[in-house]
Amino acid sequence: MENVDLLTQVKKKANEWLEGDYDSQTKDQVKHLLEKDENELIDAFYKDLEFGTGGLRGVMGVGTNRMNIYTVGSATQGLSNYLHKQFSGLEQIKAVVAYDSRNNSRLFAEKTAAVLSANGIYVYLFDKLRPTPELSFAIRQLNCQAGVVITASHNPKEYNGYKVYWDDGGQIIAPHDKNIIHEVQKITSIGEVNFSGDDQKIETIGENIDREYVDRIKSLSVNPEVIQRQKDLKIVYTPIHGTGVELVPGALEAFGFKNVIHVPEQDEVNGDFPTVHSPNPEEHAALKMALEKAEQEDADLVMATDPDSDRVGIAVKNREGKLEILNGNQAASLLINYLLSQWKQKGRLTGNEYIVKTIVTTELLADIAEAHGVEYYDTLTGFKYIADKIKQLEGSKTFIAGGEESYGYLAGDFVRDKDAVISCVLLAETTAFAKDQGKSLFDQLIDIYIEHGFFKERLLSVVKHGKEGEEAIRQMMDQFRNNPPDSINGQDLMLVHDYSKKQTMDLMSHLRYNINLPKANVLQFLLKDGSKISMRPSGTEPKIKFYFSVNDTLEKREDFEKVDRRLEERIDGIIDALNIR
């Protein structure tokens, strides 16, 4: 009965598109779904796209649950209405619009600019694709009240997305995210969306913002003299067909690096991402061509950015001299350890500095910060929460850097989102500093483990598609939340952090403690041996993510492989005990 009711509801919504003010091509596609593809029809119309940790994101196509000019237009009309309510006292509300290399990104950006301008909002529209972090920079630089970037970040080619940023340059968080959705939900007809743009209120921007952005990035260099000595460091860089091709090589050159080696096939801007299965630098296959080039060139460092250049994956030579891909926790630890140690060495630490990480990111960052006398903060998953912490502490404390395990890092506070352009130049400088001391970046990582403890993490994503998948994910979370195990892999469960209840449960003392963070559907298990297991449904993809973190001491360099295997086996044991493969 439930499926019959759902199909009836879906067909009603689809027929509203046939009767509404939609273009003929869209109506033809809806007719095809009604007549030929019931399953696709349900998936396209059974719900409306909602803002998650990355904003509006979905598969491109017709329907309320798809990315198309109408869902983009409705979102922009809702945003416009909300901006007028929030900034009613301003003579002119302003916004920036940017876009990445994905199919339809320019189209969606132009529609966004048209709807904003039709609603009296002055729009700065980038002349061509640009990195997402440059949008964040431009909002603050141009004194805008909001920004929109059209991107689905590292998702497969079928996806696109729509991220909204606020006047501080950070992605929207509560209450703005829910309030914008509320405004969108008030729109009952596509006829309420004003698509008739005002060209007088749309200004094209580009190279001037690029120069200002790169100039600010150059100010982050800690040891320019080291770069000068190591200017011929061999760096292989690939944008994986994305926006990084616009600024990363130039930023590296501005820093002083003279030997940046390209992967020509992947410099091509192409929303089909023809050389990779997925343009996600978290996936090793995405770095395959860059690694092959690095082997040929005997490179010191490999870097790959995702399509909108907010994430970066890296590879360095390991103890055997072979290229090894590092995970996001390792890269964040190397970058932040370098910045803190060099700030300390140069006498720049005053006791008023801090770093930020997310709750699923390695605890090694906390240990590094404490060892340098630098405060650290935890936030919920999503770099928008790191940006919000920077906003909260602006003017009272100095932000040095932040990081999350999903390959996103930031230094300096002139951008309020993860920034792969900044990350690339600073990771290159970190590599140059290690080489200047006769070490590789991998050697530097082992040094960190010896000093602070060997932390090893792994991410396991369980994909569940469609409406049935959403229900399976919900049941999985409910099971772990309501019936946590007494022990996992032979280790007693000591603490349960339930961020949906904002409460920590001590299973030994049976005491309860409040969690001072916003509510979120995240669970964390802490075991007796210090292992940490985190689980959360993804806000941008149909999957549930499990994060595993284990640690041990590493007394000397020669023990690295032995301890590494021991930690790998511990994670394997935890996964087997949870029965989630």
579 C-beta neighbours (distance < 10 Å), count? 6
Residue 182 phi, psi (nearest 5): -60, -40
Q: Distances in Å between the alpha carbon of 207 and those of 80, 160, 204, 213, 214?
A: 27, 25, 10, 10, 10
The beta strands (E) that lie in 416-499 are given as 454-463, 487-488, 491-498
Catalytic center residues: 153
Contacts for 209 with CB less than 8 Å, ≥ 6 apart: 126, 134, 137, 138, 141, 142
Q: Give the gyration radius of the chain's Cα atoms.
A: 24
Residue 368 phi, psi (nearest 5): -65, -45
Domains in the chain: ranges and CATH: 47-211 (3.40.120.10), 231-452 (3.40.120.10), 456-578 (3.30.310)
pLDDT of residue 55: 67
> Backbone dihedral region of 382: left (phi > 0), alpha (psi from -120 to 50 degrees) or beta?
left
Rounded to the nearest 5 degrees, what angle is found at the Cα of 100, between the Cα atoms of 95 and 106? 70
Nearest alpha-carbon partner for 387 in 166, 213, 175:
166
pLDDT of residue 539: 67
Q: What is the pLDDT of residues 303-331, one digit of tens each?
A: 999 999 999 999 999 999 999 999 999 99
DSSP string, 289-319: HHHHHHHHHT-SEEEEE-TTSS-EEEEEE-T
Question: What would the two tokens of residue 446 be?
Answer: 């082992």
pLDDT of residue 1: 37
Q: Is 430 exposed, middle or buried (0-12, 13-18, 19+ CB in 10 A)?
A: buried
pLDDT of residue 465: 83
Residues of the chain with pLDDT under 50: 1
pLDDT of residue 181: 83
